[in-house]
């Protein structure tokens, strides 16, 4: 039996125990996990140092090594994040609907754990702790498959967390790490219907596409974001400038940052030159449509491919349109249904934008950067879903649950 | 451009219009559809006669031909089902959550249509009308791919419905039928990410497995049901007999009927012989475990394969267990997480069963046959989901929706 199958079977067995635990029992286990991350700090840092050393020897960039690196401060922050998950309300057991039927049947719909969740992710070892905590809090067993660059760190983290679980009501087998770094172990997970209930990919576009294209297990797709900000004719300049700059440069590397700024022609003729200066001061390289280049000749030309690119970088496309309709058409063609914003003082146009744009989050006069579990007040998030089924947008704990109908009768039969 | 791509693109375009319509506009369109099914009755019956004739020439069984056949009465019933969908509340636009953040952002989560739904199904032409009405009512465009046996009927039904839509606010392109009966048209639909938002298969196990195994578009899995009834030591005989017979014979061909009866040994020693007589009177062939065959020697032996078979027929496995734990293990091994029942007077055992059995619907003292949208009071259903993501159990109209966050600000940026 392969590592993937053996560990997934063990996880499934453990899930049946997890399903019977109380919120208190689960929280106690999470607190033991948090404590272990600091009390076993030296072991974890030593394992992490192996990853860093191996990465440096293989020529990994310093910025990637920095994402991989653990420090006492970072470990403390990771442990604190677990303690924050303890404080969140447990969705499991929540009665979503309860009703009686004319034949006397009493029907309740309750939240239940999904069962066993597979997480496929890349380098950062904090995801290991984060995903494990969110899954266990919601009564799910979890099978983690992290990137090989962090293998020593992940192995050590999971060992420490499992030791903590062994002193709790949660079976240690509820937390599994696939150590086989061959790509085949991912392929195997993707087809493990019957053992894994869902797979959540966390990482770059190619990781996510591999999962979406090849999984037969249901997937929650997260990640890709080509987000637009559209400044309407009536948009206030100061507000538009603040929102557009924030959406682009506050953290360009994340999915809710802006890739294309769409300007109404009237607004652009008045303000684009000034706005372009602001972006230049912020080190953002601009690419634009023909009219944008007439107004600001120094910028490069933007191709259809540029409009379809998630830069995650200090690069911005500028598209000038003659009206809201043209903006909506551009967004429909190039958007990834993540986060889209209109800056306008025209409430009819705002309502049309909010209604007609098909995206997880649509904004009127606020930065797309707010699409985030913490910013929405959900606490920790497992990711931002860019699909329409199950959960859309920032996923809090309820996204890690399913439901079950409980029907209580007194001998009813169907006639 | 293939038929599948051309029609899916047209459906996606139409979905943007559907998304802006009011409930009244959608209901008016549905009523025109219902009326057209009776006013165009002769056209529909003539087309259906072609299917029946072709089927008979190809040696199709009379029972399948009966499922395919339309009559004036059946058409009237199908039209009435559309009118019942008109009466159901429209979930689209429902505000699921609304909250303000400390920074002044106002966030609303609203139900929105999924977009474009692909339905892949088999012979019965009533599914054509049913699926179209449910999708359009919830603001979704729909691409139908029915079985070739019903092609003439489906073509004629869709033509009549599209004519009705042409007199309504819903664009006719919101309803598409794929006429290409080559299997490749199904394969093409399964990979149509970006044009189809979800695929719902309706039909037998092989149709559903093909979709689940090969789709890259998100799927809502429906259908397979290996359902159990467990009679505990304290189960009342009269109730157990009524529930078990109902679950098996009231309609054996459907997914919520029982395939295996599990009896506590004490109950079995007292009552299995009498119960076996009742099943024999109802023309049900019994297969049993060793102990069952000791108690009623005339029955055949049940293999592991039998326990894993969805008979959908007058055949029943009988498994005798020594306690609830053994029953739970059997259900975990062979159940398909559809509908499971315990008959008991012991409330602790009932609670354990309801809590621990992992299924869409768990019953205490009632027949599994109640797992059904009408019986739950949801009105028409698009199917019974046997997956855990998005929707589980009978799917009413809300299962055909997604959600969208609408965030209204006054210039907020993230710091």
Question: Which of the residues A389, A394, A403 would you substitute to probe the B interface, choosing the one with the greatest number of B C-beta atoms within 10 Å?
Answer: A389
Nearest to B413 among A243, A390, A402 (CB): A243
Q: Count of CB atoms within 10 A of residue A19's CB? A: 18
Nearest to B350 by CA among B338, B362, B359: B362
- Are A332 and B402 inside 8 Å of each other by CB? no
Listed by start position, the domains of chain A span: 3-220+395-408, 227-370
- Are A406 and B371 inside 8 Å of each other by CB? no
Instruction: Using a CB–CB cutoff of 8 Å, tell me whether B364 touches chain A.
Output: yes
Cα dist from B316 to B265, B280, B307, B308, B313, whole Å? 18, 11, 9, 12, 8
Instruction: Using a CB–CB cutoff of 8 Å, tell me whether B220 touches chain A.
Output: yes
User: Which stretch of B3-7, B383-387, B411-415 has the lowest confidence by average pLDDT?
Assistant: B383-387
- Are A19 and B367 inside 8 Å of each other by CB? no
Instruction: Please provide residue A335's backbone torsions phi and psi, each rounded to the nearest 5 degrees.
Output: -70, 160
Rounded mean pLDDT of A361-365? 98
Instruction: Using a CB–CB cutoff of 8 Å, tell me whether A250 touches chain B.
Output: yes
Q: What is the pLDDT of residue B9?
A: 98
Does the pLDDT of residue B25 top 80, yes or no? Answer: yes
- Are A411 and B193 inside 8 Å of each other by CB? no
Q: What is the pLDDT of residues B210-245, one digit of tens each?
A: 999 999 999 998 878 899 999 999 999 999 999 999
**CA nearest B364 in A: which residue?**
A408
Q: What is the pLDDT of residue B223?
A: 75
Q: Mind telling me how many Å the CA of B59 is from chain A's nearest CA?
A: 34
- Are A405 and B393 inside 8 Å of each other by CB? yes
- Are B365 and A332 inside 8 Å of each other by CB? no
Q: Mind telling me how many Å the CA of A195 is from chain B's nearest CA?
A: 12
Does the pLDDT of residue A342 top 90, yes or no? Answer: yes
CATH number of B227-370: 3.40.309.10
Residues B224 and B335: their CA atoms lie apart, in Å, by 10
- Are B366 and A407 inside 8 Å of each other by CB? yes
Q: What is the pLDDT of residue A329?
A: 97
Q: Which residue has 């451009």 as its token pair?
A: B1
The size of the A-B interface in CB pairs under 8 A is 202
Does the pLDDT of residue A367 top 80, yes or no? Answer: yes
User: In the CATH hierarchy, which top-level class contains the domain B3-220+395-408?
Assistant: alpha beta
Instruction: Using a CB–CB cutoff of 8 Å, tell me whether B107 touches chain A.
Output: yes
Q: What is the pLDDT of residues A149-206, one digit of tens each?
A: 999 999 999 999 999 999 999 999 999 999 998 999 999 999 999 999 999 999 888 8
Q: Which of residues 48-77 of B touch A (CB under 8 A)?
A: none
Q: What is the pLDDT of residues B92-121, one digit of tens each?
A: 999 999 999 999 999 999 999 999 999 999
Q: Which of residues 322-351 of B touch A (CB under 8 A)?
A: 332, 350
Mean pLDDT of chain A: 96
Q: What is the pLDDT of residue A37?
A: 97
- Are A390 and B393 inside 8 Å of each other by CB? no
Strands, DSSP E only, in B216-350?
227-231, 258-264, 285-288, 300-301, 315-321, 339-343
Quote the distance between the C-alpha of residue A227 and its chain's center. 15
Beta-ladder partners of A142: A117, A175
Q: Mind telling me how many Å the CA of A116 is from chain B's nearest CA?
A: 11
3-class SS of residue B155: helix
Q: What is the pLDDT of residues B138-167, one digit of tens each?
A: 999 999 999 999 999 999 999 999 999 999
Give me the percent of chain B exceeding a pLDDT of 90.
Answer: 90
Q: What is the pLDDT of residues A54-63, one digit of tens each?
A: 999 999 998 8
Give me the percent of chain A exceeding a pLDDT of 70.
Answer: 100
Residue-wise burial string across A174-195, b where 16 or more C-beta atoms lie within 10 A, e elsewhere: bbbbbbbeeeebbebbbebbeb
Q: What is the pLDDT of residue B253?
A: 87
ipTM (interface pTM): 0.93
Q: What is the pLDDT of residue B14?
A: 98
Query: Is residue A301 within 8 Å of A293, Cβ to Cβ?
Result: yes
Nearest to B328 by CA among B364, B301, B355: B355
Reported as type and span, the H/E element at residue B43 is: helix B41-57
Residues A23 and B252: their CA atoms lie apart, in Å, by 41
Q: Kindly give, in sequence order, each residue whose CB lies less than 8 Å from that of residue B62, ignoring residues fewer than 6 positions away.
A: none
Does the pLDDT of residue B135 top 90, yes or no? Answer: yes
Q: What is the pLDDT of residue A124?
A: 83
pTM across the whole model: 0.92
Q: What is the pLDDT of residue B382?
A: 86
Q: Which of residues 115-144 of B touch A (CB under 8 A)?
A: 115
Instruction: Please provide residue B147's backbone torsions phi and psi, each rounded to the nearest 5 degrees.
Output: -75, 155
Confidence of residue A254 (pLDDT cuts 50, 70, 90): confident
Nearest to A393 among B364, B375, B405 (CB): B405
Q: What is the pLDDT of residue B205?
A: 82
Nearest to A242 among B212, B350, B413 (CB): B413
Q: What is the pLDDT of residues A8-34, one digit of tens each?
A: 999 999 999 999 999 999 999 999 999
Q: Count of CB atoms within 10 A of residue B326's CB? A: 16
Rounded mean pLDDT of B250-262? 94
Instruction: Using a CB–CB cutoff of 8 Å, tell me whether A409 touches chain B.
Output: yes
């Amino acid at each position: 039996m392969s590592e993937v199958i053996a560990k997934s079977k063990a996880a499934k067995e453990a899930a049946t125990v997890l399903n019977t635990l109380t919120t208190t029992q689960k929280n106690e286990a999470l607190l033991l996990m948090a404590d272990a991350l600091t009390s076993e700090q030296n072991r974890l840092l030593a394992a992490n140092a192996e990853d860093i050393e191996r990465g440096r020897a293989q020529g990994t960039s310093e910025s990637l090594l920095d994402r991989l690196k653990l420090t006492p401060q970072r470990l403390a922050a990771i442990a604190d994040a677990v303690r924050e998950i303890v404080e969140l309300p447990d969705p499991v057991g929540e009665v979503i609907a309860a009703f009686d039927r004319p034949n006397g049947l009493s029907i309740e719909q309750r939240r239940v754990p999904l069962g066993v969740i597979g997480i496929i992710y890349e380098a950062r070892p904090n995801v290991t702790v984060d995903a494990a905590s969110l899954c266990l809090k919601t009564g799910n067993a979890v099978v983690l498959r992290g990137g090989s660059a962090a293998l020593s760190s992940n192995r050590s983290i999971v060992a420490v967390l499992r030791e903590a679980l062994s002193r709790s009501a949660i079976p240690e087998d509820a937390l599994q790490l696939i150590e086989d770094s061959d790509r085949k172990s991912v392929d195997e997970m993707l087809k493990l219907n019957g053992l894994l209930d869902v797979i959540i990919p966390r990482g770059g576009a190619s990781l996510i596409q591999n999962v979406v294209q090849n999984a037969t297990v249901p997937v929650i797709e997260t990640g890709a974001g080509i987000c637009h900000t559209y400044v309407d004719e009536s948009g206030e300049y100061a507000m538009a400038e603040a929102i557009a700059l924030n959406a682009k440069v506050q953290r360009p590397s994340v999915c809710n940052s802006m890739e294309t700024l769409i300007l109404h022609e009237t607004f652009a003729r008045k303000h684009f030159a000034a706005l372009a200066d602001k972006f230049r001061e912020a080190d953002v390289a601009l690419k634009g449509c023909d009219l944008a280049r007439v107004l600001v000749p120094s910028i490069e030309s933007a191709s259809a491919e540029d409009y379809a690119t998630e830069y995650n970088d200090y690069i911005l496309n500028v598209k000038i349109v003659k009206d809201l309709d043209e903006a909506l058409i551009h967004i429909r063609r190039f958007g990834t249904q993540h986060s889209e914003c209109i800056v306008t003082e025209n409430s009819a146009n705002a309502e049309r934008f909010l209604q007609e744009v098909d995206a997880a989050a649509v904004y009127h006069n606020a930065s797309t950067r707010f699409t985030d579990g913490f910013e929405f007040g959900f606490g920790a998030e497992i990711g931002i879903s860019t699909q329409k089924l199950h959960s859309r947008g920032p996923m809090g704990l309820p996204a890690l649950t399913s439901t079950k109908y409980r029907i209580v009768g007194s001998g009813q039969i169907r006639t």
